[in-house]
Amino acid sequence: MKSVRFGSAILAGLVGTLAMTALMYAAPLMGLPPMDLLQALGGVFPLGISPYVVGGLIHLGIGVTLAVFYAVIFERILPGPRWARGAVFALLPWLFAITLMAPAMAWVEAAVNPPAKAQQVVNPCGVSKPANPCGTQPKAANPCGAIASAPANASGPAASDAPASSPWLLGMMSLMAHLVYGGIVGSFYRRTV
């Protein structure tokens, strides 16, 4: 335990989480459906401030905590280069995110908010009020739907015949984001010898 450098783990967690978040919010630029994780995390708690601020702080806290957990337990026992050890570790939070996170968020939401509002906030692809009170009103259409400007003969996730927010696609997008997070955490974390 004395060879763990907590400052290095915290920095690795911050950098990895910021990169993961940027990748998730850049997904629509690559023709993929949006993943509004910060709204989903922050919208669960009615604190009277932007859900993006609350969600961002929650996401950074989780990312840093997981990086410290990686440094304390997994960094020494996983084989391979540093980036690969981090990426293999990132499979654990990814599995948690795709299997238990949505039910856990729904439970917290139901505990702190009225039941009618609970289901609309938990879905990161759901229509919600803008965080900026001066912002535009949300569209009635599904924000996770296929991009209207995609050409009819295109292939890939943005194609008009592709299910833009199918569970497998969102799961793979989440996997990609978690692998980036883990690879960065593994690359950035340095322990003393």
Tokens of 127: 């229509």
For the chain, what is the domain count?
Answer: 1
The C-alpha atoms of residue 83 and residue 5 are separated, in whole angstroms, by 17
CA distances from 139 to 35, 59, 62 (A): 16, 26, 31
The C-alpha atoms of residue 41 and residue 53 are separated, in whole angstroms, by 10
Q: What is the pLDDT along the chain (193 residues), one digit of tens a residue?
A: 558 899 999 999 999 999 999 999 999 999 998 888 999 889 888 888 999 999 999 999 999 999 999 999 999 999 999 999 999 999 999 999 888 887 777 777 777 766 555 445 555 555 555 555 555 444 444 444 444 444 444 444 444 444 456 778 888 999 999 999 999 999 999 987 5
* 128: in domain: no
- Are the C-beta atoms of 2 and 193 separated by less than 8 Å? no
* 47: in domain: yes
pLDDT on residue 161 = 45
* 167: in domain: yes
* 133: in domain: no
* 79: in domain: yes
Dihedral sign of CA atoms 132, 133, 139, 143 in order: positive
**The amino acid at 150:** A
Find the domain containing 57 and state its range.
6-115+158-188
